[in-house]
Amino acid sequence: MLSDEHIVHLEKTANTIRQDIVEMLLAAGSGHTAGPLGMADVFTLLYFHTLTHDPKNPLWEKRDRLILSNGHICPVQYAAMARSGYFPVAELKTLRKFTSRLQGHPHREYLPGIEVSSGPLGSGLGQAVGIAIANRLDKKKNYVYALMGDGELDCGIIWEAAMLAGREKLHNIIGIVDRNGIQIDGYTWDVMPLEPLREKWESFGWHVIEADGHHFESLDEALSQAQSVNNKPSVIIAHTIPGKGVEEFERDYHWHGKPPNTEEAKQALQELRTFGKYIECHDCD
């Protein structure tokens, strides 16, 4: 169970990561805003509580594997990795720069701690399933976490991988779907309706859990439940707000694939820093 003190620490860390994301995108002049901000809480919980990993030894054999399928939200992964000690925080400002290790989609050969390169949407779950099968053959006890966007569930390859995982009863894989309701062309219910989403995953043989993607206790309970299932794969549908933390960005699909300009970034950072002071004040109380 998460203590109140630990939750406050996670809230502060997530707020710092959101500020990192805005600053990274401003420096890069390109990239995706809504998804990374919306997934900051999920990545904070994973890197600072849930994952078995060692930032000083990224290839540790006993580590859990985190596979980011919707690689365009990588600024949030980079920020979480830097803040947890994989590389210097100052390097975040090199996002998308020529020769940078932090490209617009993660590249496993550039940055230790990135498990697979990502780019084509829908590919990550299949990669995660392959790793989970290999781990089972090698009798490894670690988990494979497959993070997906809801928009990429339009891709048929996702469901091929889901079908295989269900058939193989891969209890060592845990999927997390960022259910934020947007994709680059609009809202998911307009572009390609996904509901009934829970029933679809269940029909492929998965244990399904729904959680509030901005509530650390809800997420932690969902992850604990997923880890306790031993006869099928599990998927957490994490309901999130795209652009979370910045009122102008929230729930607006236009922010899916564009960065803030100087003035927008200034206002966003002011809003996030104000919230950060609120967390500090709440902690003092």
Mean pLDDT score of the chain: 96
Query: Which residue shows structure tokens 């206002």?
Result: 267
Determine the average pLDDT of the residues in 258-267: 98
- Main-chain dihedrals φ then ψ at residue 13, nearest 5 degrees: -65, -45
Q: Name the helix (H) or strand (E) containing 252.
A: none
Asked if residue 213 lies in contact with residue 39, where contact means CB atoms within 8 angstroms, the answer is: yes
- Both tokens of residue 201? 């995953």
**Domain boundaries in the chain?**
4-284
Provide mean pLDDT across the span 258-277: 96
Answer whether 176's CB lies under 8 Å from 209's CB: no
CA-CA-CA-CA dihedral for 102, 104, 110, 116, to nearest 10: 130
pLDDT band at 177 (very low <50, low <70, confident <90, very high): very high
Q: Is the pLDDT of residue 120 over 60?
A: yes
- Taking CA atoms, 146 is separated from 8, 25, 71, 85, 149, in Å, by 26, 24, 11, 22, 10
pLDDT band at residue 282 using 50, 70 and 90 as cut-offs: low
If we measure between CA atoms, which residue out of 172, 177, 160, 161 comes closest to residue 233?
172
> Percent of the chain at pLDDT above 70?
99
CB 158 within 8 A of CB 149: no
Instruction: Please report the DSSP string for 35-80 in residue order.
Output: HHHHTHHHHHHIIIII----TT-TT-TT--EEEESSGGGHHHHHHH
Candidates 3.40.50.970, 3.90.25.10, 3.40.50.12780, 3.40.718.10; CATH matching 4-284: 3.40.50.970
Residue 227 pLDDT: 98
**b (16+ CB within 10 A) / e for 201-220:** beebbbbbbbbebbebebbb
For the stretch 187-237, pLDDT in tens is 999 999 999 999 999 999 999 999 999 999 999 999 999 999 999 999 999
d(CA 69, CA 58): 19
Residue 276: its pLDDT value, please?
A: 86
CB 277 within 8 A of CB 16: no
Please list the residues that pair with 67 across neighbouring strands: 146
pLDDT digits (tens, 9 = 90+) for 100-113: 999 999 999 999 99
> For position 224, what pLDDT does the model report?
98
Whole-angstrom Cα distance, residue 184 to residue 166? 30
Q: How many Å apart are CA 235 and CA 23, to the nearest integer?
A: 32
